[in-house]
């Protein structure tokens, strides 16, 4: 029983919560539990990319839009990009690239950024490491992403093409039941017609965030200038096809 009785009058049992009105602590606990429940039900998006700025070049506007919609975004970057500054010590370059990636993530609204540390130029060899396979498989099981984004298979950069093969093989092996899309980085102009379903995302309201996030990669600014024109060109071209000002396009491969 929640109360004990004496002399016909009810007394509060100090060990019992029965009859007690919920206080502020109870309300906070209930709200916290509710928020946790809502967070666990968030739609997750998983991005698997080779280098620390690929996710911004390829789908920065889309990720910013997803973040504004309340989706949980996890980005896995396979390489630190340590060869971008060969005159610096590796640990200096790594620290710099990681910092820039986290700054860009804040701008876009990425929830989690994970680095795997694969060496540039050795993706084909190191990506087949069973540990990498298991780590990505574990992430898919943990976050249960509704959609996975990775590099296009016809990207001329070998590391990007290797990423595409790895993701497809893994998704087929584990029988991933979500959608898999590819994005472009080093294919600013259409090389060939891809006979695959396309997904256009209107990024008119988040395009500025994409550009701001790209500028967070200060160490890459010299090479970025060469690509920046293509970022604007593709956004305008895709926007024309999607009947909006700016858009990003993805190929559905699974």
Q: How many domains, in total, are found in the chain?
A: 1
Looking at the domain assignment, is residue 30 inside a domain?
A: no
Looking at the domain assignment, is residue 36 inside a domain?
A: no
Residue 101: C-alpha distances to residues 30, 57, 82, 96 (Å): 35, 12, 13, 9
Range of the domain at 189: 43-252
Dump pLDDT digits (tens) for 77-106: 998 876 555 445 667 778 888 999 999 999
Looking at the domain assignment, is residue 29 inside a domain?
A: no
Does residue 230 register a pLDDT over 50? yes
pLDDT band at 8 (very low <50, low <70, confident <90, very high): very low
pLDDT higher at 165 or 120: 165
Looking at the domain assignment, is residue 5 inside a domain?
A: no
Q: What is the CATH number of the domain that holds 105?
A: 3.40.50.10320
pLDDT higher at 33 or 210: 210
pLDDT band at 30 (very low <50, low <70, confident <90, very high): low
Percent pLDDT > 70 in the chain is: 74
Looking at the domain assignment, is residue 96 inside a domain?
A: yes
Non-local CB neighbours of 161 within 8 Å, separated by 6+ positions: 151, 153, 154, 155
pLDDT higher at 23 or 47: 47
Dump pLDDT digits (tens) for 130-161: 688 899 999 999 999 999 999 998 888 888 99
Number of alpha carbons in the 13 Å side-chain half-sphere of residue 63: 34
Looking at the domain assignment, is residue 231 inside a domain?
A: yes
Non-local CB neighbours of 210 within 8 Å, separated by 6+ positions: 56, 60, 61, 64, 108, 203, 231
């Amino acid at each position: 029983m929640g109360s004990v009785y004496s002399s016909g009058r009810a007394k509060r049992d100090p060990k019992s919560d029965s009859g007690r009105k919920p206080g502020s602590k109870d309300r906070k606990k209930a709200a916290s539990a509710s928020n946790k429940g809502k967070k666990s039900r968030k739609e997750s998006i998983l991005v698997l990319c080779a280098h620390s700025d690929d996710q911004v070049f390829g789908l920065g506007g889309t990720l910013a839009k997803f973040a504004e919609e309340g989706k949980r975004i996890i980005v896995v970057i396979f390489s630190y990009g340590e060869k971008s500054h060969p005159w610096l010590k590796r640990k200096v370059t790594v620290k710099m690239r990681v910092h820039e990636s986290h700054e860009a993530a804040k701008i876009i609204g990425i929830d989690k950024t994970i680095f795997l540390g694969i060496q540039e130029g050795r993706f084909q060899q190191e990506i087949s490491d069973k540990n990498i396979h298991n780590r990505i498989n574990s992430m898919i099981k943990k976050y249960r992403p509704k959609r996975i984004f990775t590099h296009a298979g016809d990207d001329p950069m070998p590391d990007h093409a290797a990423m595409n093969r790895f993701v497809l093989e893994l998704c087929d092996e584990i029988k991933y039941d979500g959608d898999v899309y590819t994005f472009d980085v080093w294919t600013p102009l259409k090389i060939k017609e891809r006979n695959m379903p396309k997904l256009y995302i209107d990024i008119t309201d988040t395009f500025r965030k994409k550009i701001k996030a790209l500028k967070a990669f200060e160490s890459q600014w010299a090479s970025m200038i060469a690509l920046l024109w293509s970022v604007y060109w593709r956004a305008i071209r895709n926007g024309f096809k999607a009947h909006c000002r700016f858009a990003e396009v993805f190929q559905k491969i699974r």
